Every structure is written in C-alpha cells, then in structure tokens.
Amino acid sequence: MKVEGSQFVPKSKVDASNFVPKSKVAGSWDPNALTWTEHQFYFTSQSWGIKAVWEKVPGSDQPKFTFPLIITEVRPGSEAEQQGLRVRDEVMAVRPEGDAAYREVKRQDKDPRIVSSGKATSYVDDETCGILMRGGRCAIKIRRGEKTQRCECGSDEITEDERQGDLICLRCGVVLRGKVMSMSSEWRTFKDDESGHDPNRAGAADNPLLSSDGMSTMIGASGPVFGPVRNAADLQSGSAANLAKNQFKGSNQNADRAILDAFGHIERMCERLGLPRMIISAAQEMYKVVDEEQKKGKKVGRTVEATVCSVVYLACAEKKVPRTLKELCSVTTSTKKDIGKTFKHIEQLLGKKSGPTSAVDIIPRFSSHLQLSNDLERLSIHIARAAEPFLPGRVYTSVAGAAIYMACLLAHGTPAAGGATLPSAKQISDATGAAEATIRQVYRDMHVRRHALLPAGTAAVVPGRIDSIPDH
C-alpha cells in the first residue's frame, strides 16, 4: 500500500506514464466494445410476439424480411418477452418442430424479382421467411451484442476506485480514466435527528409537473414514529413542531399531494392495463393541464377517478395504443357514462380530437391474446377494413370480433391455421369484450358480402371454404 499525503492508493494502481504495454498507447481503451453472445429460445404458442423489418417484393406472394434479421419489437406480455428476447437481437438460425437440426438464416442473393425492382436491400431466404410467417412451435438461435468496457491489453476486468474516481484495469494496472463523476444517489447524514425516520437520500428527482418542480424545503420536526408526515395533526408539540405546522399550512404541499395522488392512480391503472411508460407520461401531462383549468373554475368531471380514466383513454388513442371503455371500467369504479361525459369535456378543453377508434387498430392485440398466427391476423385486418364501410353504427369491438370469427372459419383445417386449435365465438367474445350474440349478428351481415371482403387470392389459400362457411 502506497501513501500519498492523507489518501491511500491501491497497490495495483499504476500511473499510465509508468506502465506502457508493448505496442500499446498507455491509458487507451474502447468504452463501446461489443461482446457477442449466443442464446437459444423455444416457442410453444402460435404467435411469438416479435417483429422484424419486412417489405413487399414485386412478384412475391409473401413479404420478405430484410437481412440481417434484427428484432425491432417485442410485444409486452408475449412469450418472447417472458423468455427474455430483446430489441436488436439478431436471429441466426431457426428449427421448426419436427426438424432435427437448425436452419441457418441465409441471405438470398441474385433473386430476379429483387433485381428487377431496382432495390439494393438484401433479404432473408424464402424458406426461413415461410417458417417465421407460420409461427407455431419453433426454436431459434440469436446473437446478442452487449457493450463492455475493454482495455487495450484485451481485458474487460475494469474496476472503479470510488474514492479517487478512477477507472483501473485489473490486468495491467493502467488508469483508463480519471475524475469520473459518480451517477449514484447522494447520501446525507443527520446526527441530531431523533424522529425515527431514515432521511438518508437527498430527495426525489425534479418533477416539472409539480409546483416549483417538486423542489421545496421542509422544516424538520419530530413526527409520528411510523410513516411520513401527511398533515399538520401528525406533528408533535414543541417549537420546531410549531414552525413546521405554520409552514405546512402556508405551503403548497396540499395541492401537490392531490395531484400526486392522481398521478399514482394513473400509474396503477396503466400497470393493470399493461400500458407502456409513454402512456403514463402523456396521461399525467394531460391531467396537469386539466387540473390547472379546474383551479380557474372550469368544470370538467364529476370525480377524480372519471378524469383519470378519461386522460388515460385519450392518451391511448393519441399514442395509437387504443383501449376500450369496457377495459377501463374493469379497473375502476366509474361508470361508462361518467367516463364518456368527462372525456368529451376534456377533449374540448385540451383541443384534441382522438377520432373514432377503428377495428383494425385493436385486432393485433386481440389476435395476440387468442394466439392466432400472423396469416390469420392479416386476414382479420383485411376483412375488418373492408367491412367497416358496410357496417355503420356498429361498435368497433363487435366488428373486430366478427372479422376474427370469419377468418377462423375460413382457415379451419387449412395450412393458414398453423396447425393450432382455432378459438370459438365464446372465446373471441371473452377476448374482445363484445357479446357473443352481437358478434354472430355482425358476422351474419358480413357473410352476405363475404366475397367482397376477402383479399384477392384467398380462394387459393383456403380452397372451397368461402362458400361453405356457415352463415351464423
């Protein structure tokens, strides 16, 4: 151990000027070095829940994936997310059920259809594209690149000296970087605090949605043994407590507490609905604007809960992640009528127009819940898009359920079903929230125009099924 003044320096720490590896520059390193690792995943459901970039190629009936095959989206709650697949993973090989060996994902070269189209994009071979589009039971191998800090000597064993703020290579001892700023939490010590709390951290991060960005100074006082100080009655007697009471009554903490409770309600609702973080942020921003307008005397909603449901519904529509009113009612005590009235007021107040939700927007989510193949999902979307002009006044959930029901009847017992057991009308009703009788009624209206609703070439995919499907 070497002593420098009053500070200790580890023995393994060598100044870069005193240690120069052969043919290496002292202290040089690559902070963005990638370490590639291979992983295997096994899928049992019909829909895996992953997406990659694909394009329509002239002269080809099915779309083609671009090469290399990089995962661009992992659907929340899917089998892929549960197993740990990530965006930017590269699929290297696939093995469908029944095959003994993996098939390498290859680049398709010199395809006359691609050459004639004038595109320079490389595509995955047709055999692999067919396996990926069918889905079902399959195993895949992926390659994943992870960033690792690596020294020029080739070692990735790099440690941080927290006292000095230096990054040190444990193999060669070179100081790779000095005076590194610590991004960890700041800690404080209160030696004279006897309140029983544990005020170790410096506080929460700035929040622009709160007054003064959430930054405020509170006068400390001996409060309750358990839990934070929620109101002036929680504070005990004493001079410090009296000062704290006066500050508490005259501060804006009450207003912030009300909006924080609403923000917490929004987060809990979005978590129960499985919504991403961007919906929570958008809904909280909308609620902040509504709350400011309410303080000016404008009447928006009857209850805070109805207002929260309305901003979540509007945020979902704005971010193209639509949810139905029935789904919102399932996680709250507000009625559909109250949410609808409040939603109209908020739309006018914010100047936003969400527009009518289409059945096409919600079919992918329902197809994922029902574990339908990609072919069935695309067929359902085409049927719904063609049927909506002929079904004025019908709720989009009923149209979506009827389109999925027709697609399942068409694909029953054909390769388009992917070998899976297709859902019944009752199962479709449970997934979409529409009544089974309503789905069958909409299906009867669609059955009359079935030839106009189906895409070109459907007769070749499901031969003899168009005229033989039942009318109820």
Report residue 444 CA to chain centroid gap.
37
Tell me what pLDDT residue 203 has: 55
CB atoms within 10 A of CB 240: 14
Residue that terminates a domain, selected from 301, 326, 350: 350
Give me 226's structure tokens: 């358990």
Task: Tell me, yes or no, whether 251 lies in a domain.
Answer: no
Query: 3-state DSSP call for residue 459?
Result: helix
Tell me what pLDDT residue 197 has: 52
Residue that terminates a domain, selected from 326, 350, 374: 350
Instruction: Report d(CA 323, CA 357) in Å as an integer.
Output: 9
What are 70's strand-pairing partners? 90
Task: Tell me, yes or no, whether 101 lies in a domain.
Answer: yes
Report residue 155 CA to chain centroid gap.
35
Instruction: Report d(CA 357, CA 88) in Å as an integer.
Output: 31
Are 124 and 198 in the same domain? no
Are 342 and 311 in the same domain? yes
Task: Tell me, yes or no, whether 141 lies in a domain.
Answer: yes
Q: Find the CATH number of the domain harbouring 81.
A: 2.30.42.10
Are 322 and 367 in the same domain? no
Instruction: Report d(CA 349, CA 263) in Å as an integer.
Output: 19
Burial 430-453 (b: 16+ CB within 10 A, else e): ebbbbebebbbebbeebbeebeeb
Tell me what pLDDT residue 86 has: 87
Give the amino acid at 88. R
Task: Tell me, yes or no, whether 413 lies in a domain.
Answer: yes
Are 169 and 211 in the same domain? no
Alpha-helical (H) ranges within 145-194 are: none
Dihedral angle, C-alpha 452, 457, 462, 465, nearest 10 °: 30
Are 72 and 53 in the same domain? yes
Are 63 and 117 in the same domain? yes
Tell me what pLDDT residue 94 has: 92
Instruction: Report d(CA 440, CA 391) in Å as an integer.
Output: 14
List the chain residues with pLDDT less than 70: 1-35, 59-61, 109-120, 147-149, 182-208, 211-241, 244-245, 247-255, 355, 412-420, 456-465, 467
Are 239 and 270 in the same domain? no
Instruction: Report d(CA 221, CA 286) in Å as an integer.
Output: 36
The sign one gets for the Cα dihedral 350, 353, 359, 365 is: negative
Q: Domain span at residue 205? A: 191-245
pLDDT tens-digit readout, 264-280:
899 999 988 888 889 99
Are 138 and 36 in the same domain? yes
Task: Give the long-range contacts of residues 101-105, CB within 8 A, separation 24 or more.
Answer: 102/139, 102/141, 103/127, 103/128, 103/131, 105/67, 105/68, 105/69
Instruction: Report d(CA 155, CA 138) in Å as an integer.
Output: 37
Task: Identify the CA nearest to 387 among candidates 450, 471, 470, 436.
Answer: 450
Are 24 and 160 in the same domain? yes
Instruction: Report d(CA 129, CA 111) in Å as an integer.
Output: 14
- Phi-psi domain of 53 (left: phi exceeds 0; alpha: psi -120 through 50; beta: other): beta
Domains held by the chain: number: 5
pLDDT tens-digit readout, 203-235:
556 666 776 655 666 666 554 433 444 454 444
Tell me what pLDDT residue 7 has: 41
Report residue 361 CA to chain centroid gap.
16
